[in-house]
């Protein structure tokens, strides 16, 4: 996850793109036929698209473009210097000294007559020589940036404004010479731009995969571009840049603010809020308690506040959408290593699941930032919203940690040969996952007033507590069944079924509460398209699918005996020697002592009691994943 040269090359483009999006770089141009300023808006849109096009170019093209832009900037500075300084020198000598002849004529006449040069002529000659040297250095730097060789003809032409000071007393001729002197450099600029143009003609994924990829598999093309351009690494580098900028901007500065409401159409970044002299005047007074219980974070007895350095940094790092994404990219590194450490600590088998913690936390932080419109809030509201989003993010991370620990516990619990010391670490994590949300629920219910945020966070944590308790109870049953009962616990399957069923019912109720709470927020508090999309996904994944799977599991258990009786019974003696394998569910031999044997429609054999346990979960074959029963049997059931 380190940085490379290409990341450094793309960072300035990202800074410019962020400035355009957050109105730090804005074109305030009003067209003749567009009096409302839409022309400036369109120019900003075009600049943003150009930033994206340049960002997705190869590093070599970006490097050449930077050098070309630096050469153009230096050339423009030289033109401005020519028109200002050279015209001042020319006007001072010919205007104030009342010379009617070119300086070269006067100097040559004095030298021919063996006369001394007056101080004004010596001063003028020295200035001409200085201008000549400065233009020569400027021309050499431009050629170095463009990787071109020095040409005597172009050098003479580029320094012609200095020579013209000596050769003419006409101002318009001098200005014409200044324009003509830029022709060699202009030709070089056109040449270099033509070399770079093929690399800037298309986006990276278009040049890589062709136009068909955009039409047939656009998502794959975007993913390839995301990886090849190392967008997460550039965002992390942008995060470091924003941290340094925030420290330099906020350290030792007055970070006080009031609770007044500001015009939402104005620039809302921290720079404009604290350091701009023309920030908008308050248009509406607002008390602390009017904004979703904000008095719980800030002291409501004062009319003004002062942000701490950490709060100011948090507000500045989330003052634009791109900055919020950079925070999410930085969090992904922490989550990646945290998930890896957790995976190694509990002795898991799927390292990719632990590494996915970083990506999950990053995506969730960015979604919360978009959903709550974090970047458009004033700094003091942004701090409170970050405070609340962080608790939601923490709860989601705890849920994901349980998803990592749960399969480990379920794997080691029925295996009696695994030492008990290997159970300690997963159990310790489970106890932490039980204590943290329980303490959070107690804190919310005893210290926070009723609000949509408190309801959502309480239901989310209660769901986690129920999941952890269910996992621990099922784990305990499997351990006792494998270690402390010779013939196993009677009705173990029934106990596991009812524990998981009760757990799923409570989880379903919590999900339903969060859906109703989210619908209330969507209709009465904060309406936006992303919240509506998230609500739809939550309704489908956590409510509809959970309910459907629960009904399916209940029906499987209810009609398990009738379904199994529809399968053919196999006599052990009738099984050919070459087909005598083990049951793929319990890994026991097909012998009479291990119970009755059934053959499925797909001609796979299992123990009857093993098949009954399997049908409690799903009604597909464990070997080939085909349906165990025909549709007529299911409809009859």
Dist. CA 26–CA 487, nearest whole Å: 77
Long-range contacts of 346-349 (CB under 8 A, 24+ apart): 346/404, 346/405, 346/408, 346/425, 346/426, 346/429, 347/408, 347/422, 347/425, 347/426, 348/404, 348/407, 348/408, 349/408, 349/411
Question: In whole angstroms, how large is the CA radius of gyration of the chain?
Answer: 37
Q: Strand, helix or coil at 505?
A: helix
Between the alpha carbon of residue 104 and those of residues 153, 163, 164, 177, the distances in Å are 22, 10, 10, 17
Helices 5-21 and 231-250, interaxial angle, to 10°? 60
Give all strands (DSSP E) within 123-239, no chain letters: none
What are the structure tokens assigned to 347, written together? 């002795």
Residue with tokens 């994924």: 205
Q: What is the DSSP letter of 116?
A: P
> Residue by residue, what is the 3-state secondary structure of 378-416?
CHHHHHHHHHHHHHHHHHHHHHHHHHHHHHHHHHHCCCC
| pLDDT at residue 339, as a whole number | 92
Smallest CA-to-CA distance from 597 within 571, 560, 616 is with 571
Classify domain 565-636 at the CATH topology level. Answer: Herpes Virus-1 (3.30.40)
Q: Strand, helix or coil at 203?
A: coil
> Contact 184/154 with Cβ under 8 angstroms?
yes
- HSE (side-chain half, CA atoms, 13 Å) at 379: 25
Residues of the chain with pLDDT below 50 are: 28-35, 204-214, 260-295, 299-303, 632-637
- DSSP letter for each residue of 233-265: HHHHHHHHHHHHHHHHHHTTS--EEES-B--TT
pLDDT, tens only, 334-348? 999 999 999 999 988
Dist. CA 237–CA 247, nearest whole Å: 16
Dist. CA 281–CA 195, nearest whole Å: 50
pLDDT, tens only, 523-561? 877 666 667 777 777 777 777 777 777 776 676 666 666
> Contact 179/80 with Cβ under 8 angstroms?
no
Q: Strand, helix or coil at 620?
A: strand
- DSSP letter for each residue of 318-359: TSSHHHHHHHHHHHHHHHHHHHHHHHHHHT-S-HHHHHHHHH
> Contact 309/254 with Cβ under 8 angstroms?
no
Residue 257: φ, ψ to 5°: -155, 165
Between the alpha carbon of residue 319 and those of residues 17, 256, 530, the distances in Å are 14, 17, 19
| pLDDT at residue 219, as a whole number | 67
Dist. CA 120–CA 94, nearest whole Å: 11
Residue 204: its H or E element: helix 204-209
Dist. CA 159–CA 177, nearest whole Å: 10
What are residue 582's DSSP bridge partners? Answer: 589
């Amino acid at each position: 996850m380190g940085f490379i040269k290409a990341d450094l090359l793309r960072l300035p483009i990202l800074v410019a793109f962020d400035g355009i999006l957050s109105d730090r770089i804005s074109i305030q141009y009003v067209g003749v036929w567009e009096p409302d300023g839409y022309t400036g808006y369109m120019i900003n849109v075009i600049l943003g698209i150009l930033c994206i096009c340049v960002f997705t170019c190869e590093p070599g093209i970006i490097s050449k473009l930077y050098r070309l832009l630096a050469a153009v900037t230096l050339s423009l500075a030289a033109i401005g210097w020519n028109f200002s300084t050279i015209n001042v020198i020319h006007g001072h000598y010919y205007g104030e000294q009342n010379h009617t002849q070119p300086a070269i004529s006067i100097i040559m006449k004095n030298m021919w007559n063996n006369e001394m040069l007056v101080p004004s002529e010596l001063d003028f000659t020295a200035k001409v020589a200085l201008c000549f040297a400065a233009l020569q250095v400027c021309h050499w730097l431009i050629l170095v940036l463009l990787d071109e060789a020095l040409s005597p003809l172009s050098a003479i032409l580029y320094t012609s404004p200095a020579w013209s000071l000596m050769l003419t007393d006409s101002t318009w001729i001098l200005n014409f010479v200044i324009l003509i002197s830029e022709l060699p450099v202009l030709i070089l600029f056109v040449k270099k731009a033509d070399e770079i143009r093929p690399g800037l003609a298309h986006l990276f994924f278009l040049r890589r995969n062709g136009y068909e990829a955009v039409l047939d598999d656009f998502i794959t093309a975007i993913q390839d571009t995301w990886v090849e351009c190392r967008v997460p690494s550039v965002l992390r580098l942008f995060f470091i840049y924003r941290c340094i900028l925030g420290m330099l901007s906020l350290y030792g500065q007055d970070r006080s603010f009031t609770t007044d409401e500001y015009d939402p159409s104005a620039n809302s970044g921290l720079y404009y809020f604290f350091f701009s002299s023309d920030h908008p005047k308050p248009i509406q007074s607002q008390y602390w308690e009017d904004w979703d219980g904000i008095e719980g974070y800030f002291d409501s007895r004062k009319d003004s506040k002062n942000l701490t350095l950490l709060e100011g940094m948090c507000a500045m790092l989330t003052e634009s959408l791109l900055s919020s994404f950079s925070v999410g990219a930085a969090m992904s590194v922490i989550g990646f290593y945290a998930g890896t450490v957790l995976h190694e600590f509990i002795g898991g088998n799927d390292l990719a699941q632990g590494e996915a913690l970083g990506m999950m936390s990053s995506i969730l932080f960015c979604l919360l930032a978009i959903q709550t419109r974090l970047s458009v809030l004033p700094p003091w509201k942004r701090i409170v919203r970050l405070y609340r989003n962080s608790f939601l993010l923490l709860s989601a991370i705890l849920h994901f940690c349980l998803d990592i620990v749960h399969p480990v516990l379920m794997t080691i619990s029925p295996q009696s040969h695994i030492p008990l010391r290997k159970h300690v670490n997963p159990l310790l994590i489970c106890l932490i996952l039980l204590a943290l949300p329980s303490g959070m629920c107690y804190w919310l219910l005893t210290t926070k007033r009723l609000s949509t945020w408190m309801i959502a966070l309480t239901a989310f944590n209660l769901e986690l507590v129920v999941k952890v308790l269910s996992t621990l109870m099922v784990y305990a049953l499997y351990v006792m069944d494998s270690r402390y009962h010779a013939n196993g616990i009677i009705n173990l399957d029934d106990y596991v079924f009812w524990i998981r069923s009760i757990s799923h019912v409570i989880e379903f109720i919590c999900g339903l509460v969060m859906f109703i709470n989210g619908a209330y927020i969507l209709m009465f508090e904060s309406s936006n398209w992303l919240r509506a999309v998230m609500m739809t996904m939550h309704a489908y994944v956590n409510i509809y699918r959970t309910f459907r799977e629960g009904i399916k599991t209940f029906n499987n258990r209810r009609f398990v005996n009738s379904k199994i009786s529809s399968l053919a019974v196999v006599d052990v003696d009738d099984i050919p020697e070459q087909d005598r394998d083990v049951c793929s569910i319990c890994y026991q031999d097909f012998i009479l002592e291990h119970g009755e044997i059934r053959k499925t429609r797909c001609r796979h054999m299992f123990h009857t009691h093993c098949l009954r346990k399997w049908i409690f979960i799903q009604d597909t074959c464990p070997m080939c994943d085909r349906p165990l029963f025909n549709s007529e049997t299911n409809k009859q059931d």
